[in-house]
A and B are shown apart, each in its own frame.
Chain A
Amino acid sequence: MIVHHIQTASLICILSPLLGAAISGLAGKRIGNRASHTVAIVGLAISFAAAIYLFAQVVLYKVPVYNADLYLWGGSGRFSFHAGILVDSLTTVMVTTVTFVSLLVHVYSIGYMRGDPAYHRFFSYMSLFTFFMLVLVMGNNFLMLFFGWEGVGLVSYLLIGFWFERESAARGSMKAFIVNRVGDFGFILGIAVVLAYFGTLDYAQVFKQAPSLAGEIVDISGTQFSVITVMALLLFVGAMGKSAQIPLHVWLPESMEGPTPISALIHAATMVTAGVYMVARLSPLFEFSEVALSVVLVFGATGALFLGMLALVENDIKRVIAYSTMSQLGYMMAANGVSAFSAAIFHLMTHACFKALLFLAAGSVIVALHHQQDMRKMGGLRKYLPITYITFLIGALALAALPPFAGFYSKDAIIEVVKQANTPGATYAYYCLLIGAFVTSLYIFRAFFMTFHGEERMVDDQNEHKHGHGEIHESEYFILLPLVLLAIPSIFLGFMMVTPMLYSGQFSLLGSSIYVAPEFDFMTALVTHYDGPAYMALTAFMHPPFWLSVLGILMAWCFYVKYPYWATYTRKYMEIFYCVLKNKYGFDAFNDFFFVRGVRGISQFFYRIGDVKIIDDCMVNGTGRAISHMSAWVRKLQSGYLYHYVFVMILGLFAFLAWVLL
């Protein structure tokens, strides 16, 4: 009986956003803006309710894992592909997070997108995105994962380019799409390897067979690789694209060209964490390859530090938060790399709340300043935007991982577990993450102080007049409500969830949905030192990350509030360092030089020689010419004279005779 309920609830959960998207997208013009957003939000609310129900059933009442195929989607030879749903604790955690953030962002968008000519389209896309994201996390096989994966990519593209009449938005959406193609190339190859070796794409069956394939070796052009390693690494390439890991991170800053609500929903809270979710979901594969885990760890940790540092020199408030997102994704990946999947998912959860909060608060600032995003033209805003100020501060404290805010529990756990780990590269990763903690609090409080403290620098672009102070006022109710609702979990979520998520041994919340090999089980070691969340917060000062965070805040305060000239000096004396960061380590320049120009050069060559000369001129037009010559010839045959017709017939007869006899 309960199985039926679970199935019904999951279907409602997945399909109601789709229905909302369809109605507001297809009929949006006819039913008007108000009805469009109502439909979308009601769809999301139903979905959220269903998610809560699933969460309660799975987590509180411990119903068994629901894993069933709904229908046969396609088959070919010995392969069959089903559309199916898997509901376990990992799914419910993800589903709840996604629908919660999505619901709030929907509400927020009523205020943020007011007056946009394509209002209903925006709501339709956001609901559609939620549908794809839910498919991604609720599917019970790689195919559903891939379907959702590509779906969210598509909607992300559509939403980054939502204001497609702006060239930078159109370019940003293209960049996101193309870079993600690179990742998806690896991802689909990974899925192909899975299919080739396991003969199925069903998670349960793949995971069951995985141990037996652990020792398998594949020979790729003379070098021996473990099959699982190849598989895991290819899949990780997909995760790199979607979750913006070095070197496929370059699209995420550009994605900030989209409206702020989608930066919060897609490019901070949900879609970009799909890679983290995927690695956690596929933990039974990754656990059989130390190499793959190590790669995940090193790439994640490197991103956590070095991408975070880029935020230090960025002046666009949204881009600061975007780099912060990459850095935090790096933390999650690093946790995956040391097999602390529960820590990764926990950080994913808390991060979804406080990062969405930061984005939405930034959006509130942007709306108040009439779409000004440059922090050099802000300052002293705390007077005008008190609620935004407080909520942003909560988000910043959570991000900087100060106890007892949400980020503290999740991030501290990651740093601790990496310290314990002996996966190759763990020491390097530990120092990266440790310094990263300092960098994190430095850049977020730099943004905080530049925006809300210090002198007022609100000058509009034409420098014509100072903004009248009366013009800047707190945003409307629809914008503030989600901020407040997100601030609550940003404060308490960590405190509440840390015990069940991380420190309950085999009874932990994620339970059997992740698999940790005994030799990589570093989380268990931490459990013995754990004495509850309050104790953890109180003893935070005994660990270096706490002091590094505080140092970061202090430095930010000194540089941007107390002694602003320090910043100028530092920049002057550390010119090289500044330049490297400002140029983003040259990734964009390199891509531009090597890929864009290189590909363009090759394309030009192929275009001129291959396309214009050979295909257009010779083959297409040539065929056309040849065919018109031929048809002219054919026309001559079809002269209309009866004796010609008969002549051809007789000729044909003789030709046939000759053909058969000779």
Chain B
Amino acid sequence: MNFEIPNFALALPEIFVLTMACAILLIDLFIPKHAKTLTYLLAQITLLGAAILTFQQYGHPGSVTTFNGMFVLNNLAIVLKLFIYLSAFASFLYARSYLPKTKIPYGEYFVLGLFSVLGMMVIVSAHNFIVLFLGLELFSLPIYAMVALRRDEGICVEAAIKYFVTGAIATGTLLYGLSMLYGATGSMDITRVSEVIMQSSLSDELILVFGLVFAVVGMVFKLGAVPFHMWVPDVYEGAPTPVVLFLGTTAKIAALGLLFRLLVDGLQPLSVQWQDLLIIVAVLSMALGNLAAIVQSNIKRMLAYSSIAHMGYMALGLVTATPQGYGAALFYMITYAIMTLGAFGVVAIMNNAGCEASKVSDLRGLNSRNPWLALMMLLVMFSMAGIPPIVGFMAKLSILEALIGVHLVWLAAIALFFAVIGAYYYIRVVKVMYFEEPEDATPIKYPVDMQIAISLSGVGLLVLGIVPGALFTLCQAVFGATPY
């Protein structure tokens, strides 16, 4: 047995984030209470540094592995990581002025967040079942804790417990599935698993199918799609808004990375089976998410159901099992993350300004209280509803194109049908903001960093909608697909 020194350079961002996270944990203990902003700054610097390190790795086509094939680096991983940093950065930014108001210590949120980010980075670069699982745990455990950060709030703790218990079951299912796959193929290495299944025409073997189903269940749970979505509304409602931002954007991108690694890289030969599963997941998510969102009066719950529906659309991209479809799914996920940043950003801004923003009706007359904020929310809502020229439309269009490309026209029709239903509750928000009188007409003020963040997400959606070319091509290129 020969031991070769792994190429640490490939894992440099991970090493950097790990080091920094540990350092911040320690530093936070020793800095005085009034200087806690330092923790925040260090956390953001960590993300920026990681982004720079990751960005430098971009460019080599194909994959490189290290750590004895445990760790893989390719353009897909890099793009996913960059957007993980970006959304984490934005979530942290909204947390800066929000956390002190709710008496959540900086140290806990940012350090937990950084560890979770590290877990996500490991997932998207995992090339082995063990590493994958390790990353998943590192990614999930801090989030459970983050949901429960407001220890004295009943709703918060309840959400955390529910999330933790169901999450533990899901993780168990995934682990069980992975073990069955290992049993069937005799390998933990993702590429090797794929080869073995391909060569041995094992694809009909019962144990493989069992393993696949269990693994898919675990992953769909992380996405928060039907029928493993039950935690989503409770957690979105209960958790502090910056945590929801983190959970709804960063974690979703990581979950998509998990799907890419396991289903696309590892289990592509079983695509016929997992396509069927994802079709059910997608259709049920679109149906239940959109239908249930209509009756919600709580804005966070409404956005939670909307996220379920969006995960359904995103899953449609995977259903195609073509590079174009994967590219469309990635594009959809990235744009969805920007929309969520905008939507929960508005909620966070209103919370921060001392307004209760738990009900949709709390947005009443937002236009007269802060026209710019209302405009940004309008862009976000129209984007979510898929109204051109905002990017949500392009995202849905690319998914539908990919579906039609593999002759799944009926599925595209269903997607459109539910998109129409979904438009109802998005446009209702716009109506409430613009056509109803505010109960409390005091103008809303918010700090500059939040202003920049919300404007970037709102205007970004519009700009991306008008010139989606660059991002879209990037999303296609990481899968080696030629954009149409």
Q: Interface on A for B, CB 8 Å cutoff?
A: 627-628, 630-631, 634-635, 637-638, 640, 642, 644-646, 648-649, 651-653, 655-657, 659-661
- Are the C-beta atoms of B162 and A652 separated by less than 8 Å? no
Residues of B within 8 A of A (CB): 161-162, 165-166, 169-170, 173, 206, 209-210, 212-214, 216-217, 221, 227-228, 230-231, 233-234, 273, 276-277, 280, 288, 291-292, 294-295, 421
Q: Is the interface of B mostly helix, strand, loop or mixed?
A: helix
Beyond A645-B230, A646-B169, A649-B170, whether A660 also contacts B209 by CB under 8 A is yes
The one of B161, B170, B276, B295 that contacts A660, using a Cβ cutoff of 8 Å: B276
A649 contacts B221, C-beta separation under 8 Å: yes
Do B276 and A653 touch across chains, with their CB atoms under 8 A apart? Answer: no
Complex-state Cα separation, A634 to B209, whole angstroms: 30
A645–B170 alpha-carbon span in the complex (Å):
12
Partner of A656, one of B166, B280, B288, B295: B280
- Given A638-B230, A653-B213, A656-B217 in contact, is the A646-B280 Cβ separation under 8 Å? no
Q: Which B residues are in CB contact (< 8 Å) with A651?
A: 227
- Which one of A630, A638, A642, A653 contacts B217 once the chains associate, using CB atoms below 8 Å? A653
Give A630 to B161 CA distance when docked, in angstroms: 28
* Supplied contacts A649-B227, A653-B173, 6 more A-B pairs, CB within 8 Å: A627-B294, A638-B233, A640-B234, A649-B221, A660-B209, A660-B276
A660 to B210, CA, bound (A): 9
Give bound CA distance, A652 to B285, whole Å: 13
**Across chains A and B, which 8 residue pairs bring their CB atoms closest together, nearest first?**
A652-B227, A645-B230, A631-B295, A634-B292, A656-B213, A653-B217, A657-B213, A630-B291
Per the bound structure, the CA–CA distance linking A628 and B294 in Å amounts to 9
CB–CB B291/A659 < 8 A: no
Q: Per a CB cutoff under 8 Å, which of A631, A634, A653 touches B214?
A: A653
Residues of B near A653 (CB, < 8 A) are 173, 213-214, 217
- Evaluate contact between B227 and A659: CB separation under 8 angstroms: no
A631 to chain B, nearest CB (A): 4
> Across the interface, which residues of A come within 8 angstroms of B213, CB to CB?
653, 656-657, 660
What residues of A have a CB within 8 angstroms of the CB of B292 in the complex? 631, 634-635, 638
- A653, chain B: closest CB distance, angstroms: 5
Using CB atoms, name the residue of chain A closest to B161: A642
Q: How far is the CB of A184 from chain B (nearest CB, A)?
A: 26
**Contact A659-B277, Cβ < 8 Å, known A631-B292, A638-B230, A653-B214:** yes
CA distance A249 to B290 in the complex (A): 51
CA distance A640 to B158 in the complex (A): 10
Distance of A631 Cα from B165 Cα, bound (Å): 25
Q: Which residue of B lies closest to A652 (CB)?
A: B227
Q: Are A646 and B291 in contact (CB under 8 A)?
A: no
Q: Which of these, B227, B230, B294, contacts A655 with CB under 8 Å?
A: B227
**Docked complex Cα distance between A58 and B257 (Å):** 67
Interface pair A648/B230, CB less than 8 Å apart? yes
Closest residue of A by beta carbon distance from B234? A640
**Given A652-B217, A659-B277, A634-B230 contact (CB < 8 Å):** no
Q: Which residue of A lies closest to B218 (CB)?
A: A653
Contacts of B291 in A (CB 8 A): 627, 630-631, 634
Minimum C-beta distance from B29 to chain A (A):
35
In Å, the complex CA distance between A388 and B216 comes to 89
Q: List 17 A-B contacts (CB under 8 A).
A: A627-B294, A627-B421, A628-B295, A631-B292, A631-B295, A634-B288, A634-B292, A642-B165, A644-B230, A645-B230, A646-B165, A656-B277, A656-B280, A659-B280, A660-B213, A660-B277, A661-B206
Contact B210–A657 (Cβ < 8 Å): yes
- Give, as a whole number of angstroms, the nearest-CB distance from A646 to chain B: 6
B162 & A642 in contact (Cβ 8 Å cutoff): yes
A626: nearest residue on chain B (CB-CB)?
B291
Known contacts A659-B276, A659-B277, A661-B209, A645 near B294 by CB under 8 Å: no
- Given known A631-B292, A656-B217, A660-B276, contact A649–B209 (CB-CB < 8 A): no
Q: How far is the CA of A570 from the CA of B226 in the complex (A)?
A: 87
Asked if A660 and B273 sit within 8 Å, CB to CB, the answer is yes
| Complex CA–CA separation, A634 to B228 (angstroms) | 14
Q: A642 to B158, alpha carbons, bound, how many Å?
A: 10
Complex: chain A residue closest to B301, CB-CB: A638
B273 contact set on A, CB distance < 8 A:
660
Given the complex of chains A and B, what is the CA–CA distance between A638 and B233 in angstroms?
9
> A634 CA to B289 CA in the complex, in Å?
10
Are A649 and B230 interface neighbours, CB within 8 A?
Answer: yes
CA distance A631 to B291 in the complex (A): 6
Which A residues are in CB contact (< 8 Å) with B216? 656
Query: How many angstroms between the C-alpha atoms of A635 and B292 in the bound complex?
Result: 8
Q: Report chain B residues within 8 Å CB of A635.
A: 292, 295
User: In the docked arrangement, what's the CA distance between A630 and B289, Å?
Assistant: 12
Q: Which residues of A contact B295 (CB under 8 A)?
A: 627-628, 631, 635
Give Cα distance in the complex from A659 to B170, angstroms: 19
In the bound complex, CA of A657 to CA of B216 (Å): 11
Complex interface: chain B residues within 8 A of A638 (CB): 230, 233, 292
Chain A positions within 8 Å of B288 at CB level: 634
Q: What chain B residues lie within 8 Å of A630 (beta carbons)?
A: 291
Cα A644 to Cα B292 with chains together (Å): 18
